Amino acid sequence: MQRFYIKSFKKEESFILEDKEISHQLKKVLRIKEWEKVIFFDGLENIDFVYEIVQINNKNIILKLDSKIQKDSELNFELNLFQAMPNKLDKIEYILQKWVEIWYKKFVFYRSERSQKLVISEKKEERLKKIIVEAVEQSGRNFVPEFDLTPSPSPLEERGKNVNIFLHTKNNNSQNLSEFIKNKNSLSTEGFSPLKEVRQDLNIFIWPEWGFSDNEVNNCEKNNFSRIHLWNRILRTETAWIVVWFTLWQII
């Protein structure tokens, strides 16, 4: 069944669909028929609301509640991505399209010292937010990740209670990601334990195209960030997530 996110969804027993964009997609793109079913969610509860199409006419789509599906679509700790601003808009789009599926609660794109200038208009920012919503709908998640393009002050200089990992392209004085995660004292007093247990929130910092500057590395280390080396090969900033998530997935 097709899933749709409606922020102001009232969860009534029956309702008239007023969202013009969703109505157009149902009628013109999906060509949905009466008595077929669709799913709506509001991003506030981990529940899918299944509705049956009662009537379709030129103006409206009328639906009635069929069932509710309790979901387990989110982690029970925060996993946040702090991505140094890439040099192209399509890289941001790619990162959002793929990383939304991987349980990130927050996406922060910040300007590092080696980030190239990239101007993102309000219109483009709205498109990026729409990409996030579409990825949530497609992947079966129920909560829409937060999105921030202008963090201040620099996240590399902030001290926080979360576990902060900054990925580095050089192996000197760096830990291996898998060894770091397996260390029971690294992420919490309970270790990086099974998914059902509460764990400490985790922030992951990804480098820009030309890597972190020496100054940024020093700031990270000064603020007790953990320097992690992924691989002997230098990965692109938009593909580092493949190694990161594969390693994390083995133990959550």
Residue 159, pLDDT score: 62
Q: What pTM, to 2 d.p., does this model score?
A: 0.81
Give residue 145's pLDDT: 94
> What residues of the chain score a pLDDT lower than 50?
184-198
| Tokens 């291996």 found at | 176
Q: How far apart are CA 81 and CA 97, in angstroms?
A: 14
- Fold of the domain built from segment(s) 3-70: Ribosomal Protein L25; Chain P (2.40.240)
Q: Write down the pLDDT at residue 155.
A: 81
Q: Give me the pLDDT at residue 231, please.
A: 64
User: Tokens 């793929």 belong to which residue?
Assistant: 98
Q: How far apart are CA 113 and CA 93, in angstroms?
A: 22
CA dist 129 and 241 (Å) reads 20
The number of CA neighbours under 13 Å toward the Cβ of 4 is: 22
pLDDT in tens, 224-245: 887 777 666 666 777 676 666 6
Helix (H, G, I), strand (E, B), or coil: what is residue 6? coil
Distance between CA atoms of 85 and 69, rounded to whole angstroms? 38
Residue 92 makes CB contacts below 8 A (sequence gap 6+) with 83, 85, 86, 109, 120, 128
Residue 65 is predicted with a pLDDT of: 96
- State whether residue 242 is helix, strand or coil: helix
Question: What number does CATH give the domain 79-249?
Answer: 3.40.1280.10
Please determine whether the domains at 3-70 and 79-249 fall in the same fold group of CATH: no
pLDDT at 54: 95
pLDDT of residue 204: 85
The structural domains of the chain, with segments of one domain joined by +, span 3-70, 79-249
